[in-house]
Chains A and B, each alone.
Chain A
Amino acid sequence: MSASPRTTVTILEAAAGASLAAAFLHAHLYTPLLFWPLASLAMSAAVVAALSPLAVSRRMTFLAHSQGHTVLTAALAAAVPTAIFAGSLASPLFYLFTFVFMILLNLLVPVAEMLGLRRDVATGVVMSLQYVIILALLYVIRHFYAAAVDPLLLITGEYVLITWRDVSTQIPLLLLAALFPAAYGIKYLYASVDENFARAVGVRVSTLDRLFIVSMSLAAAASVYAAGSLMPAILLVLPGAIAARYSHRLTEQIPLSVSVAAISTAVSHFLYTALPWLWPSAALGLVLLAFLLAAPRRRE
């Protein structure tokens, strides 16, 4: 006999709290150096995952995945002025520059649309441009700022170097990013059910679309130092896709997505301590994939 969907959701939410508590206790007692990295990754994963059902339901997974390229380009671009002004990436300036560059790069999509390109083509064109910028910046950084910036760490995340100072810088940015799903998440999800109807009952869908992009950029920029540039793109898609398989309730999608991300973060912590060659963000991605494969097939 299998558990009903509602029971499964309750179990997942309880498991999220319990597994995170266990991971933090383990980090505190046995691997204190990983306590703040774990805190940073858990917060980043939770906030980005809260945005995930919105990306999945609004059919923005292509845009969400493009954030991986966008945040890498933005982080590489941000690394240059940060290296000049602060000397190292462990500076609030890095988050600020990354966010500003992300917004600018995301705005390039509507600019490309103005040239007459369809949205998906415009997104692809901007992504291509970003590849070019990435290639150029990698060499610029290696040539001029190699002592201050390791480009590989912008892809994988600094993780083990995370301190309370980094976490305290992240908190306000992630809280700001979390405001959108907390305040408008349900309305935005409903706009996926029926956009015209949502507009007719007063939901400002276009404004919410823009706020979603700002929140997504903010969450990705705040996460890049700890989780790397690829992880936000994964967290923007997989938890929402997993939540959609565990529950058919619109109002459960965001809490479920956050729970899935929290469990995966906790499990990835234990995996990393047991297998130090498995980088935490990679472990997190693998746990999410396992979650997706283990999720029940939706029965209509």
Chain B
Amino acid sequence: MSFSASREFVLVAGPNGAGKTTLFLAILGLLPHSGEVCVGGLCGGDRAARIGYVPQQIKTEINATVWEYVYLPAKFRKIRDARKAAEEALKTVDLYALRDKPLAALSGGQLQRAAIARALALDGDLLLLDEPLANVDPQGRVELLSLLREIKRERTVLMTTHELTMPSDLADKVLFLNKRLIAYGPPDEVLREEVLSRVYRYVRIAKTPVGYVCVTEDYGHHP
């Protein structure tokens, strides 16, 4: 597959097992891959220094405060003034007041925001968000989407999801995967029945005044 993005919000969509997380791990250089991945002009292993990453699963059973979770990676990566970067990142996601709390004390939405703050503190050109909306309640989802709108102004963001219902102003482009690249382009071009039907059965999508709404048909009605 081949695609490029510059200061855009790209939604990486596709069914479970489509290779979304695998794509991220390859971009991060954590999986062997053929071809070339370049971020901010860096194409070797050092490109990881330009990437902030929000994983799908966030472990909370380990002892660490919110501050340590966000600050330590910036320190490991020798970010200039890592302390200030961590402070600003925590303020951006509105978790600064909770910085001394243990990770385990955070709600699902707060955990996702902490993971985003950790990625922001690394000050990368590219932000990879792996299913940040999974395991978040509707209120947390609204808060996260509002935060993502802020973030996307300053850097390229790739966000995986298998959830196609979303606000119309969130993504600049949609990368639709199913083991390979199915389609890449503006949401209006990709989120269409003709494209989705190449991967999904019984799934319909409609554009409403507030965004895209994805519904599944009752497959029991189909032979």
Our verdict on whether A and B bind, yes or no, reads yes
| B76 A244 Cβ-Cβ under 8 A | no
B46 → chain A closest CB, angstroms: 9
Q: In the complex the two chains form, what is the Cα distance from A194 to B60 in whole Å? A: 10
Interface size of B as a range: 20 to 34
CB-based nearest B residue for A252: B63
A175 → chain B closest CB, angstroms: 25
| A244 B63 Cβ-Cβ under 8 A | yes
Q: B96 interface residue, CB < 8 Å from A? A: no
Q: A251 interface residue, CB < 8 Å from B? A: yes
We find that the number of chain A residues with CB closer than 8 angstroms to chain B is: 24
Q: What residues of chain A lie closer than 8 Å to B64, measured between beta carbons?
A: 190, 193, 248-250
B49 → chain A closest CB, angstroms: 8
B73 → chain A closest CB, angstroms: 5
Q: In the complex the two chains form, what is the Cα distance from A196 to B72 in whole Å? A: 14
Q: What residues of chain A lie closer than 8 Å to B25, measured between beta carbons?
A: 196
Given contacts A196-B55, A244-B63, A250-B63, contact A201 B48 (CB under 8 A): yes
Q: What residues of chain B lie closer than 8 Å to A244, measured between beta carbons?
A: 63
Q: What residues of chain B lie closer than 8 Å to A66, measured between beta carbons?
A: none
Q: In the complex the two chains form, what is the Cα distance from A196 to B29 in whole Å? A: 10
Q: In the complex the two chains form, what is the Cα distance from A137 to B30 in whole Å? A: 45
* A230-266 interface with B by 8 A CB criterion: 244, 247-251, 253
| A203 B76 Cβ-Cβ under 8 A | yes
| A193 B69 Cβ-Cβ under 8 A | yes
Given contacts A201-B77, A203-B76, contact A57 B63 (CB under 8 A): yes
A178 → chain B closest CB, angstroms: 21
Q: What residues of chain B lie closer than 8 Å to A186, measured between beta carbons?
A: 72
B83 → chain A closest CB, angstroms: 13
| A197 B104 Cβ-Cβ under 8 A | no
CB-based nearest A residue for B65: A249
Choose among A196, A203, A249 the residue that contacts B28 (Cβ–Cβ < 8 A): A196
| B73 A190 Cβ-Cβ under 8 A | yes
Residues 97-130 of chain B, each 1 if its beta carbon lies under 8 Å from chain A, else 0:
0000011110000000000001000100000000
CB-based nearest A residue for B58: A194
Q: A200 interface residue, CB < 8 Å from B? A: yes
Q: A192 interface residue, CB < 8 Å from B? A: yes
Q: What residues of chain B lie closer than 8 Å to A203, measured between beta carbons?
A: 76
Residues 52-95 of chain B, each 1 if its beta carbon lies under 8 Å from chain A, else 0:
01010011001111001100110011000000000000000000
A117 → chain B closest CB, angstroms: 24
Q: In the complex the two chains form, what is the Cα distance from A201 to B79 in whole Å? A: 11
Q: A199 interface residue, CB < 8 Å from B? A: yes
| B76 A202 Cβ-Cβ under 8 A | yes
A6 → chain B closest CB, angstroms: 9
Q: B13 interface residue, CB < 8 Å from A? A: no
Q: B11 interface residue, CB < 8 Å from A? A: no
| A250 B76 Cβ-Cβ under 8 A | no
Q: What residues of chain B lie closer than 8 Å to A200, measured between beta carbons?
A: 28-30, 48, 51, 53
CB-based nearest B residue for A58: B62
Q: List 18 A-B contacts (CB under 8 A).
A: A57-B62, A187-B76, A192-B62, A193-B59, A193-B62, A194-B55, A197-B53, A199-B28, A200-B53, A201-B73, A202-B49, A202-B76, A202-B77, A244-B63, A248-B104, A249-B64, A250-B68, A300-B105
| Further contacts, 14 of them, CB under 8 A, given A196-B28, A199-B28, A201-B48 | A57-B62, A187-B76, A190-B72, A192-B59, A193-B59, A194-B58, A196-B25, A197-B53, A200-B28, A200-B53, A203-B76, A248-B65, A249-B63, A300-B102
Please list the residues of chain B having a beta carbon within 8 angstroms of any beta carbon in chain A. Answer: 25, 28-30, 48-49, 51, 53, 55, 58-59, 62-65, 68-69, 72-73, 76-77, 102-105, 118, 122
